Chain A
Amino acid sequence: MPSLSLPQIMNPLLTQNSAQAAKLRIVIVGHVDHGKSTLIGRLFHDTNSLPEGKVEQIRKASEAEGMEFEFAFLLDALLEEQEQNITIDTTQLPFRTASREYVIIDAPGHKEFLKNMITGASSADAAILLIDAHEGIQEQSKRHAYLLSLLGIKQVVVAVNKMDLVDFREDVFSGIRAEYSTFLEKLGIEPRHFLPISAKLGKNITQASAQMAWFRGPSIVEALDQFDEPRTPEGLPLRFLVQDIYRFDERRILAGRVEAGKLSVGSELVFWPGGKRSRVRSIEEWGATTPPSEATVGESVAITLEEQIFVERGQIGSHPGVGPAEDRDIHASLFWLGADPLPLNQPFTLRLGTQSVEARLADVERVLDSSTLEPLEGQRVQLQKNEVADVRIRARRPVAFDRHDRISDTGRFVIVWGKRICGGGIIRDARDEETRGSAPADNLTWTTSPVTREDRAAHFGHRGAVLWLTGLSGSGKSTLATALEATLHRRGLATTILDGDNIRHGLSTGLGFSPEDRAENIRRVGETAMLMAEAGLIVICSLISPLRADRARVRARCEQSDLPFAEIYVSAPLDVCENRDPRGLYKLARSGDIPEFTGLSAPYESPISPELELKTDSMPLRESLDLLTQYATTFTHLTEAMEPKETGPGSGI
């Protein structure tokens, strides 16, 4: 047996130390034939990381195929690959330098193999973008950089390969550096280094090259060693992904992984979607002499809970007050890898963490050209293979998620189309609990806008309010409502009208005139009015709303929310109204064509103490309108506390 020398790079002390640290995962990406496999073969060879006899074995294999030996063959060990001379799938192999261990991922450059590139690159800590000095920047050089930015890979070096083909000229290198830097800048990628190399000849791989004395930077191995260790983000709120519930014995075990934050025995957990709560009773560990009391990020754990609440796979456990967003709408940047296009509104399965939910593509907001990063023109009804787009996805039931740049593991998802994963997305926007700032109640969460009621009042110059005009058909409600709106609008106030008849064309389609249906119609109008008043508008509601109880409910709802509500009784005796009969309804009701007509065949309960009564039979329209206008402006006038603050000189003293 030949005696083994101990090369410097395999100093066992160094290796033992580095065994404690995670291996750095490096992906090598770039256009086809720009030399990825050759660079990997060269890195293995020059760092002495190859098994004995491997080079000889490949050399023989090359000769058998009648080909010149190439370092790329070290990886492309599959017969078909050697014949076609392209890498067909992601390869992952470990190697080590003097200072640490690496896993190197070779991601193919062919367009049709983008899914392999994403498979490889998605787990990388850092990337080498490889560019052929002779061919320059190609489509895949740009597309791959774009995908790296989507995958969140920040540590990047650019290696300009095949410098031997351009006579090691500095100007060629500088030209590529200038052009590519500009592109990468748009993506927010700032490369650590641009390096001129020749993988084939072994130039600038482990040490500086005499032919490129003009280059003062590190060799590629030195550049790799400068990458930061992958760091687990700290200080993030807990995200515990529930994988399964086990009942192998008397214990009811929640199995899952801590994807962010820390989980401790005794702490309270809230499970999303849903918001159910319980405390951690124990962390179970097979064979442990003392069970652990906490689990940190990255750990797969099994826990039991104090209270036996219903928890299922897919839910995300958080601590109270710092939970994820919960929504059916998801705004994301999506890449599509499927051979078939992804059409709008066709159901697919969305998987996020361990959640799996039916969803559909609701909107394609914009599609970017991955080479120019310019938005592509035209309305889109589907996404094509290898396209990247900003989209809105609508799920059938609420999904719990985070913004990708905040908590990446719960901020990204894949799309299963047919039986395969065909796309992935990162979430651009998420109203998590800290953002929305409010506690859940019974499975529902109330979303609070950062814009306050005061802000809106200051913006419009008046308060939002609900003016509720009630009265018989023909009493003059619609006439007064439209006239009031016109007047207020001219004065610059923000108004809208909710008309009883109009509402029945949309929001209340299908409701009749039975007491139950009338009550429901009024409830809907009331809730809509509240939303609009909350938005800062003066909402003029014009409805017969014959029953006191129905009107009282709307008033109570508004008061609950501190929204100004005023009941305005537009009154006129029945015979006057029937005489006016502006829409001919009384006539139809009399002839029996309209059943349950208020005043004739259904009761009208007049208000007992309205804020304002307008007797339209005894008062001219002009006067009624003036009274109403005056009331409305006073009612919605800003109170002192709500007046916009003077911010003139000296106000800060």
Chain B
Amino acid sequence: MDHLDELESQSIYLLREAYHSFSNLCMPWSMGKDSNVLIWLSKKAFCGKIPYPLLHIDTTYEFPEMLEFREWALVHYDLDLIVKINEDARSGRGAYAHSIGYETHDPVTVTHELKTVALQQVMAERQFDALITGIRRDEDPTRAKERYFSPRSADFEWDYKDQPPEFWNQFTTIQEPGEHIRVQPILDWTEVDIWRYIEREKIPIPQMYFARPDQHGTHYRFRSLGCWPITKPVPSKASTISEIIAELLITKTSERAGRAQDHHERNAMQKLRAKGFM
């Protein structure tokens, strides 16, 4: 087994442990590259049948190409898909006096309301006891400290100061009342691992990851995908996966550099994650 085989095997092991351990499991899906790797791994883990629903938290600021990809994948993978929008926040109803959006609010607030709160709403509606996430340690220092099976309190808080031990492939699978568990099967993968695996397995991904010229002829590509108002492409001529990998091997820019909510203020990511952001 090579390194990718080992990562794949461990991820499949984790997905199967999660499916065994929880009765009402759900897999959030952003249509991004990591998310699509998770679909692929789920197909492999369960021999073609994904035995849990997928969840797209739609912020209403999705790139049109991503939505096209969503509709394609829905049919192609035969997905059980839940699409959730925090309608109250967008239209200023219910608990919201004003509508929330990038036009009027800062990225940390919008990300929290349209992603984390939307997730909380759907969790309350559907009573999921565990979520399969596509986070990786190398994305961010706070994610580096994660567990494969990571409990979240009823109000979604992550007690990163007192995490349960996790070793020898034994995981926290029993919840306190109201808790849910974040299962993170690709925690150990790096950005390059993800790309090598996509290349090896020929996993379909949105075309926005590949370099395209703008109106001035400068080439850009998206390294990480989020809401369109706060996601910036990086200058790049990498138009194939192998070019992307070659670029990643020499770049010293961080993967999420183009994601504004991470950099809005110091420790923004930590604050978002402590409140339940993935």
| Residue B157 interfacial (CB < 8 Å) | no
A260 to chain B, nearest CB (A): 14
Q: Which residues of A contact B1 (CB under 8 A)?
A: 232, 296, 298-299
* A72-113 Cβ-contact flags toward B at 8 Å (1 or 0): 000101111000000011111110000000010000000000
Q: A51-B254, A248-B49, A313-B20 are in contact. Are A1 and B44 (CB under 8 A)?
A: no
CB 8 Å contact bits of A240-260 with B (1 = contact, 0 = none): 000110101101010101000
- Tell which of A116-124, A199-207, A590-598 binds the partner: A116-124
In the complex, B120 has a CB within 8 A of chain A = no
* Pairwise interchain contact B3-A78, C-beta atoms closer than 8 A: no
For chain B, residues 161 to 176, give those with C-beta under 8 angstroms from any C-beta of chain A: 161, 163-172, 174-176
Q: Is the CB of B47 within 8 A of A284?
A: yes
A287 touches B43 (CB 8 A): yes
Whether B168 and A122, one on each chain, are in contact in the complex, defined by CB atoms closer than 8 angstroms, is: yes
- Decide if A103 touches B270 in the complex (CB within 8 Å): no
Instruction: Answer yes or no: B63 CB below 8 A from chain A CBs.
Output: no
Residue of B nearest to A22 (CB): B3
Check A91–B145 contact: CB distance below 8 A: yes
The answer to whether B160 and A89 have CB atoms under 8 Å apart is yes
How far is A452 from B74 in the complex, measured between Cα atoms in Å? 67
In the complex, which of the residues B160, B163, B164, B251 contacts A78, with contact meaning CB atoms closer than 8 Å?
A: B160
* Contact mask for chain B residues 136-156; partner A; CB cutoff 8 A; 1 contact, 0 none: 011001101101000000000
| Residues from chain B with Cβ under 8 Å of A6 in the complex | 250
A175: Cβ under 8 A from any B Cβ: no
The yes or no answer to A50 lying at the interface (CB within 8 A) is yes
B104 at the interface (CB under 8 A from A): no
User: A23 at the A/B interface (Cβ < 8 Å)?
Assistant: yes
Q: How many residues of B contact A (CB 8 A)?
A: 59
User: Are A420's CB and B164's CB within 8 A?
Assistant: yes
Given A300-B16, A424-B168, is A78 in contact with B270 using a C-beta cutoff of 8 Å? yes
Q: Is the CB of A23 within 8 A of B3?
A: yes
Binds B, one of A411-419, A506-514, A542-550: A411-419
Q: Quick check: A15 and B249 within 8 Å, CB to CB?
A: yes
Which residues of B are found within 8 Å of A577, using beta-carbon distances? none
0/1 string, A282-304, CB within 8 A of B gives 1? 00111100000000101110100
Whether B103 is near chain A, meaning CB under 8 Å from some CB there, is no
Contact across chains for B145 and A89 when beta carbons are under 8 A apart:
yes
Name which residue of chain B comes closest to A80, CB basis. Answer: B161
With contacts A19-B196, A91-B144, A94-B190 known, is A286 near B13, CB below 8 A? no
* B168 lies within 8 A of A419 (CB): no
Q: Is the CB of B174 within 8 A of A419?
A: yes
**Residue from B8, B12, B147, B270 within 8 A of A119 (CB atoms):** B147
Interface residue ranges of A485-531 to B (CB < 8 Å):
none
* Chain A CB within 8 A of B213 CB: no
Structural contact, A285 and B44, CB atoms closer than 8 A: yes
Q: How many Å lie between the Cα of A23 and that of B193 in the bound state?
A: 11
A421 touches B267 (CB 8 A): no
Is B47 a contact of A244 with CB atoms below 8 Å? no
Decide yes or no whether A12 CB sits under 8 A from chain B: yes
Closest to B202 in A: A287
Give residues 160-215 of B contacting A (CB, 8 Å): 160-161, 163-172, 174-176, 188, 190, 192, 196
Q: Are B142 and A116 in contact (CB under 8 A)?
A: no
Q: Of residues 401 to 430 in A, which have CB atoms within 8 Å of B's CB atoms?
A: 409, 412-414, 416, 419-422, 424
Residues of A within 8 A of B147 (CB): 119
Give the docked Cα–Cα distance between A287 and B13 (Å): 18
Identify the closest chain B residue to A91 (Cβ): B144
CB of B141 within 8 A of CB of A78, answer yes
Q: For the complex, what is the distance from the CA of A254 to the CA of B183, rounded to whole Å?
A: 22
B125 contacts the other chain (CB 8 A): no
Quote the shortest CB–CB distance from B1 to chain A (angstroms): 5
Select the residue from B16, B165, B166, B188 with max chain A CB neighbours within 10 A.
B165
B76 part of interface (Cβ distance < 8 Å)? no
Q: Which of A10, A20, A93, A298 contacts B144 (CB 8 A)?
A: A93
Which residues 1-43 in A have Cβ within 8 Å of B in the complex? 1, 4, 6, 10, 12, 15, 19-23
Query: How distant is the Cα of A94 from the Cα of B193 in the complex, in angstroms?
Result: 11
In the complex, what's the smallest C-beta–C-beta distance from B133 to chain A, in angstroms?
16
Instruction: Determine whether the beta carbon of B45 is less than 8 Å from that of A255.
Output: yes
Q: For the complex, what is the distance from the CA of A119 to the CA of B254, rounded to whole Å?
A: 27
Q: Which residue of A lies closest to B189 (CB)?
A: A94
Q: Tell me the nearest residue of chain A to B271, going by C-beta.
A: A79
- Can you name 20 A-B residue pairings with CB atoms under 8 Å? A12-B246, A19-B2, A19-B192, A19-B196, A21-B3, A22-B2, A22-B3, A51-B252, A77-B141, A77-B270, A92-B137, A93-B137, A94-B190, A119-B166, A232-B1, A286-B47, A298-B9, A413-B170, A416-B174, A421-B171
